Structure 1
Amino acid sequence: MSQFFATNEFAPIPTQSFFSSDNVFLLIVIALASVSVIIAALYITRALLHTKNRAEKAFNRVVLQILVPKERKSEGQGGQVGGEDRLEQIKEEIGITETFFASIAGLKAQRGFKKWLHGRDDHFSFEMVTRDNLIYFYIDIPKKMQPFIEQQIHGQYPYAEIDVMTDYNIFTETSSILGAYLVPTQKGFFPFKSYKTMESDPLGGILNALAKAETDNSALAIQFVTRSAHKRWRRKGIEVVREVKKGKRFESIANQSVAMKVLEGVGNITGDMFKSATGTEDKNKYDKKDDYKLSGMEEDMLKGIEEKLSKGGMDVTIRLLSSAENEASAQMNLDNLISAFSQYNVYRYGNSFKAVIPRKQTRLIQDFIYRSFHTQRSALLTTEEMASLWHLPLHSTEAPKIKWLSGRKSPPPHNIPTSGLHLGYISYRGSRTEVFLNEADRRRHLYIIGKSGTGKSVTIANLAKQDIENGHGVCIVDPHGDLVEELLQHVPKHRADDVIVFNPSDMDRPIGLNMLEAKTEDEKDFIVQEMISIFYKLFPPEMIGPMFEHQMRNVMLTLMADIHNPGTIIDIPRMFTDDAYVKSYTKNLKDPVVRAFWEKEMAKTSDFHKSEMLGYLISKVGRFVENEMMRNIMGQQKSGFDFREVMDNKKILFVNLSKGKTG
């Protein structure tokens, strides 16, 4: 151990420093390369996550179709509205949409690294689409924002109807598809022309371009994918305005990039250091003043920039898509649509739209389907500019093929019944109100009208099903037969014994229905009067007359003489041809007037006049006697069911009068 310490001597260390210029340069290169690799990896991961997540996010969105009624506002007592008044009215109506967009621009934008990496989902898509020869207005929104958007729309458009739709499709297997982006030619703070400086509704030109598709099978779509903008755009605009007001040239300030500003700053610092070191500092430095004066157009544009800075801003990706039978038609429709946006351009001292048509259309089409926001192809638009580009049709809009709302929706009354038969529900502004028909209203009758296919039979079926389930009596008279067949399938087992099906076309098991069957003496005159009124409905009044009434009344009263063994309508002809058959009924007559008809009036009538009378009566009752189906039903002395019993005992009576079977 002692020998070890004796011989231990430290070797001399080289004096070369670790922080030599070569090593520092190498470290900088390695650091920059590492940072570049990390940044590249982040952006690649971000792109992959955006592609992966956009399909999932699409399922968390909803498409709303907005319809407004085509109504003209009141034009006063004088009639037509003057040109200036009409223009003010147009601007006032478009201003409603600007208020709507202001509420969207005021939403807090999604920020943070997580949203940057996975992608934002707080954008809204406002769309105008021509398909099936009609122009539709859609809004695609996140599901969580649906109540907010519906409230905002109804707040600005009280009579608008909002329908949740399955996503539309403008593509076919054989169609040619061509799309384009609209991007600004200047920085975001430069204004576009808006509705406030135009002499008409700017949307009219776009709607006409949408309506004038090259072929009937063509489809056109305009998509504005919007989201709230970062406030940095406003800071840049304020800086430009401030520098120009100090006397600097407009072009040099507005178009100066960040790199140029840095170089200019470095140059100024270097120059100042040189002048200070040499003692040649400009004595008139603080006395210099730029004498440049703005032109009239520049002053107007400066005012326009200030006005734009006062509005809410939105980042907007604008896509145009054309689908047609062939490429030439698709190109023509797209060109017409692009040209319609030239009305918003402010050349030289303003902003304008430039169409960018990608050589490869696949990504554009996919982004259109998923409604993706494209940062590099976006424009900075204010609420005023966005309202100029997209708003619902105005009362004065005359463009063809617009899908209008055919009628307004009214809110449900406050005193709507809350119990009884369930009729359905009223959907009004996102709220659902159930509608019932109470017992008191049912006693005042219910009249259902509507053309074929509007749901009359379905409504009756739903009401009948509820009554059957609740144990009430039900009678359905069906002239078609389908309703009865459907209701038979919904009769519960515990009510099977209550069902009576009266089907005249059932020739094997006909159910009797004797029209001359009376339960009491008082019913006889009532039945006779009802039967005569039926004949008046079957034949013109001039073919009936008092003679027919007189003879028919006495014959039917005679057939009803015996309550327990009544005759039928089928027996009426026999009463004029068979004396023995007449005597079998007259012996039970108690009414002296009816008996006198047979013993005095008919006894003194000659056979010739009886034959004439017989032909006259048979011509009226022949349709009952000669028709086998009617004869089997109305020729039975005892009816198969009693209407009074059906009503009092809550039975279920189905009357199938299908015209195809009964005639």
Structure 2
Amino acid sequence: MMLPLLQIELLDGETAAMPLDVGSVMYSPFVTGGLVVLGIAAAIVTIIFAVRTAYNRSGRAKASFGMTILKIRVPKLVKKEDESEKSQQQIQEKIAVMETIFGTLGALKGERGIIQWLLGRSDHFSFEIVSHHDRISFYVATPTSYRNFIEEQVHAQYSDAEIEEVPDYNIFMPTGIVMGSYLKLRRESAFPIKTYRKLESDPLNSLTNALSKVTGEDGAAIQFVIRSARPQWRRDGLRIAQAMQQGKKLKDVQGGGIAKAVGKELKGFASTAKPTGEKKLDEPYRLTPIEEEMVKGLEEKASKSGLDVNVRIIVSSA
């Protein structure tokens, strides 16, 4: 397809059409130089990210071998004969103690800088529940530099806890079958999840009862790998809560729904308006009780310390 013809004025005052030489434009020094610069920039970016990926893998491997494994034992309380079943409030008070530890870890300043961007962060902690050899054990894997900090936090909340450094455990068999999985959120991470404050029973009992079924040489582990989250994680939750308080429906603000809602408004504005007699003013949307509870949960979650969490389940059978 030819480009529009250029108009040039002849000496006799007439105007003539002259085609543009596309080839001369494509092969001009400016265009060629620009393409070369773009190619070099793309190659440099590709090399940088390839090197970063390689260093990230190396950094993760080095960090994993620089972890200290702590085995934590808490004295088992003997139930008195005249003691009734624990109430829901008592269970919540017991679990809230551990929430304090997680809140402290979430308040830690995450590693930042060019070195962390290149090698990856190494400030990860892993809280693990392991069933092996007919025993259920609790471990904390921590960077060696944070060992004293972890011990102080545990002893501050559980004064009777025994903390012992142990070699890394191994639930795998040379000829066994291994399976693993991880948990995934059904919605955006900004939305609240159901916590122990909304449960009617002790959630740890459900986990330990399931792990107690693992016998013999079989093994199973539940790992909670955590690190402090960037402060920006709160923005999404507060943005959704604010949009809902302004009259947006939940379905319009989750999963990029705000952009959809704006597009819907623009589409309605551009469409042909109805006659004045048929036009009906939209009443402001009122949140349902469930949506009001959701807004409250979003704001409450945004007020907490943030953690990036990876929950993994690993099993091995002989």
TM range (shorter): 0.7 to 0.9
Q: For residues 229 and 166 of structure 1, what CA distance do their matches in structure 2 show?
A: 29
- Amino acid across the alignment from 2:51: T
Q: Paired residue for 2:242?
A: 242
- Amino acid across the alignment from 2:44: I
Partner SS for 2:151: helix
Q: Quick check: which has more Rg, 1 or 2?
A: 1
For the 8 Å contact 1:191–1:308, the answer to whether it is kept is yes
User: How is 1:634-645 mapped onto 2 (pairs within 5 angstroms)?
Assistant: none
Aligned residues: 292
Q: For residues 195 and 32 of structure 1, what CA distance do their matches in structure 2 show?
A: 54
Give 1:179 shift.
0.5
Partner SS for 1:225: strand
Q: 1:98 to 1:157 in 2, by over 3 A?
A: same
User: How is 1:359-438 mapped onto 2 (pairs within 5 angstroms)?
Assistant: none
Pick the structure with more strand per residue. 2
Q: Paired residue for 1:97?
A: 98
For the 8 Å contact 2:182–2:312, the answer to whether it is kept is yes
For the 8 Å contact 1:219–1:323, the answer to whether it is kept is yes
User: How is 1:443-458 mapped onto 2 (pairs within 5 angstroms)?
Assistant: none
Pick the structure with more helix per residue. 1
Q: 1:183 to 1:322 in 2, by over 3 A?
A: same
Q: Paired residue for 2:181?
A: 180
- Amino acid across the alignment from 1:102: G
Partner SS for 1:319: strand
Q: 1:299 to 1:264 in 2, by over 3 A?
A: closer
Q: For residues 227 and 293 of structure 2, what CA distance do their matches in structure 1 show?
A: 29
Q: For residues 34 and 140 of structure 2, what CA distance do their matches in structure 1 show?
A: 51
Q: Paired residue for 1:45?
A: 51
For the 8 Å contact 1:248–1:290, the answer to whether it is kept is no
Q: Percent identity?
A: 36
**Counterpart selection for 1:80 from 73, 80, 83:** 83
**Counterpart selection for 2:293 from 271, 286, 300:** 300
**Counterpart selection for 1:261 from 241, 259, 262:** 259
Q: For residues 298 and 46 of structure 1, what CA distance do their matches in structure 2 show?
A: 43
Structure 2's unaligned 5+ residue stretches are 1-19, 274-280
Q: For residues 315 and 307 of structure 2, what CA distance do their matches in structure 1 show?
A: 25
Q: 1:197 to 1:324 in 2, by over 3 A?
A: same
Q: For residues 268 and 90 of structure 2, what CA distance do their matches in structure 1 show?
A: 59
- Amino acid across the alignment from 2:284: D
Give 1:291 shift.
2.2
Partner SS for 2:183: strand
Partner SS for 1:306: helix
Give 1:322 shift.
0.6
- Amino acid across the alignment from 1:62: T
Give 1:54 shift.
2.6
Q: For residues 44 and 259 of structure 2, what CA distance do their matches in structure 1 show?
A: 28
Partner SS for 2:54: helix
Partner SS for 1:183: coil
Q: Paired residue for 1:54?
A: 60
Q: For residues 39 and 160 of structure 1, what CA distance do their matches in structure 2 show?
A: 50
Q: CA offsets per residue over residues 117-167 of structure 1, 9 Å max, x none?
A: 111100101111111110110000011111111111100000000000111
| TM-score, length-scaled by structure 2 | 0.80
For the 8 Å contact 2:131–2:220, the answer to whether it is kept is yes
Q: For residues 241 and 120 of structure 2, what CA distance do their matches in structure 1 show?
A: 34
Instruction: Determine whether 1:217 maps to 2:217.
Output: yes
Q: CA offsets per residue over residues 34-75 of structure 1, 9 Å max, x none?
A: 5543333233222211222233223322000000001147x7
- Amino acid across the alignment from 2:107: G
Q: 1:29 to 1:89 in 2, by over 3 A?
A: farther
User: How is 1:195-210 mapped onto 2 (pairs within 5 angstroms)?
Assistant: 195-210=196-211
- Amino acid across the alignment from 2:300: E
RMSD of aligned residue pairs (Cα, Å): 3.5
Q: Paired residue for 2:277?
A: none
Q: CA offsets per residue over residues 185-223 of structure 1, 9 Å max, x none?
A: 21111111111011111111111111112x422100111
Give 1:169 shift.
0.7
- Amino acid across the alignment from 1:315: D
For the 8 Å contact 2:132–2:171, the answer to whether it is kept is yes
Q: 1:16 to 1:125 in 2, by over 3 A?
A: same
Partner SS for 1:304: helix
Q: Paired residue for 2:11?
A: none
Partner SS for 2:316: strand
Structure 1's unaligned 5+ residue stretches are 1-14, 281-287, 326-663
